[in-house]
Amino acid sequence: MIGIIGAMESEVNGLKAALQNMKTKTTASVEFCAGTLEGKDAVIAEAGVGKVNAAVTAQIMILEYGADAVINIGVAGGLESSLRIGDIVVADKVVEHDMDTTPFGDEPGFITGLERVYMECDERITKILADSAKELGAHTIVGTIASGDQFICRDDQREKLIGVFNAAAAEMEGAAIGHVCVMNGVRFGVLRAMSDCANDDSIVNFPEFEKSAAALSIEIVKRAVEKM
């Protein structure tokens, strides 16, 4: 069973429309749509924005639907210098950039319990997602995606994510999903289309490009699911 999570309606609606034999159920205020996607058993959910919503949704997919692979899709702010709006970042690893126990001598982003900063994505899922994006002609980078409960649009935020974590893109859910998947021994992948470049223009660019970028990530994940 493949679980696919997006934060916002625009990030999952096109996928739900492609789901066959769909059965829906609401748990913890999140609607889960289970069925067949591109011939594969899949469950799709719009989690809501932020790390807690994403974590709750991933855990329910694993426990209630038996998801053995979870893919997070949607939009992000580009940080890597070659990225433009509409480009793709596929994560090879994710980090919770707002996790901070540095006063106790830990590295920034260190997750006590998991005893790590970065959570590695499944190599095969990452390759399938990146190949699918390239096949659709998207400029695609594989790199670190940083997640936190913040919209990134200021220089000081950008500089931290690039300087401290070498992040290629910023969003608000991927690492929470990765965290839950690591805790459960479930493989995961993250695919994001750039709606903005996490800078001064993001407040204007995000609402303008969110829908088209989200639609691109949906097209790519459909192609990827076919290959899984």
**Residues in contact with ligand ADE by the rule CB under 6 A:** 75-77, 151-153, 170-172, 195-196, 198, 202, 206
Concerning whether 41 is annotated as a catalytic residue, the answer is no
Beta carbon of residue 151, minimum distance to ligand ADE (angstroms, whole number): 4
Residues 85, 46: Cα–Cα separation, whole Å: 23
Beta carbon of residue 39, minimum distance to ligand ADE (angstroms, whole number): 31
| Partners of residue 196 on adjacent β-strands | 77
Catalytic residue among 87, 92, 173, 196: 196
Concerning whether 11 is annotated as a catalytic residue, the answer is yes
The answer to whether the CB of 190 falls within 8 A of the CB of 122 is: no
Beta carbon of residue 149, minimum distance to ligand ADE (angstroms, whole number): 9
Q: Which is nearer to ligand ADE, 6 or 77 (CB)?
A: 77
Beta carbon of residue 57, minimum distance to ligand ADE (angstroms, whole number): 17
Catalytic residue among 11, 46, 171, 210: 11
Start-to-end C-alpha separation, the chain: 11
Measured torsion, CA atoms of residues 100, 160, 214, 135, in degrees rounded to the nearest 10: -110
Q: Which is nearer to ligand ADE, 89 or 198 (CB)?
A: 198
Q: Which is nearer to ligand ADE, 69 or 221 (CB)?
A: 221
Residues 99, 58: Cα–Cα separation, whole Å: 19
Measured torsion, CA atoms of residues 191, 4, 8, 29, in degrees rounded to the nearest 10: -150
| CA distances for 227 relative to 37, 42, 83, 129, angstroms | 11, 13, 26, 9
Q: Which is nearer to ligand ADE, 170 or 220 (CB)?
A: 170
Active site residues: 11, 196
